[in-house]
Amino acid sequence: MDRQTDVRAALVFGGSRGIGAAAARRLAADGFSVALTYVSRPDKAAEVVAAIEAGGGRAMALEADSGDPAALARAVDATVSRFGALHAAVVNAGVHRINMLQSVPLEELQLMLDVNVRGVFLALQVATARMRDGGRAITIGSNTAIRTGTPGSSVYAMTKAAVAALVRGAALDLAPRRITVNNIQPGPTETDMTSAFLPQVTERVPLGRVAQPEEIAALVSYLAGDAAGYMTGSSLTIDGGFVL
């Protein structure tokens, strides 16, 4: 065990790639000791850990399926055991499928509900149970909670709207412990999950480009920091004006 009680601990669920990886790197740069979970790409998770450690930070990668409550609990336990009580948790794990309403298989519907809604709830539940009073819980939703804009996005948009509603309720539940709960709603962002359809949506973004994961991570940094202590229950859209 190499716990240091004077260093804040953060856990990023789904931190091996894209926005999650950028968030892990940014939090480490902000001085957090960072744990991150992964499911299918241990190599990518190891790359994030190596990059953080190369910069003088402390990090660890943990395998945990967001649909498995026992695995999520083990990830929280391992993080607390090594780094101390959580100060921040970022719930980034999610899946994205596009299918027209009449063509959505029940298995696809269940997958998105399990990961994007149930998984977010479970991660918030287990993380905040081991979080210090005054901590920060942050979810990564989507601007599709406000405007889908693309046919075939009904189920995905529904799950992200559910996350925004969950955050409002969780903020009230955790307010007595001064734990803030906020939701980031990115628009089109350059990640491997979105690369297939980004060219189709870029021209519809008023600012004329898509986001970089580091731009979303900057908002994570703010919400995890001391300056955001009076913000809770909010959904912050960062999408280049896409929903305007």
Hey, which residues are catalytic here? 156
Of residues 135, 140, 190, 130, the one with CA closest to residue 167: 140
Rounded CA Rg of the chain: 17
Name the percent of the chain in helix, strand, coil, to the closest 5: 45, 20, 35
Helix axes 69-83, 119-129, angle to 10 degrees: 30
Q: Going by C-beta distance under 8 Å and a sequence separation of 6 or more, which residues neighbour residue 235?
A: 141, 145, 164, 167, 182, 183, 184, 185
- C-alpha distances (whole Å) from 194 to each of 2, 70, 89, 95, 199 are 37, 29, 24, 11, 10
Look up residue 68 and give its amino acid.
D
Question: What is the SS3 assignment for 217?
Answer: helix
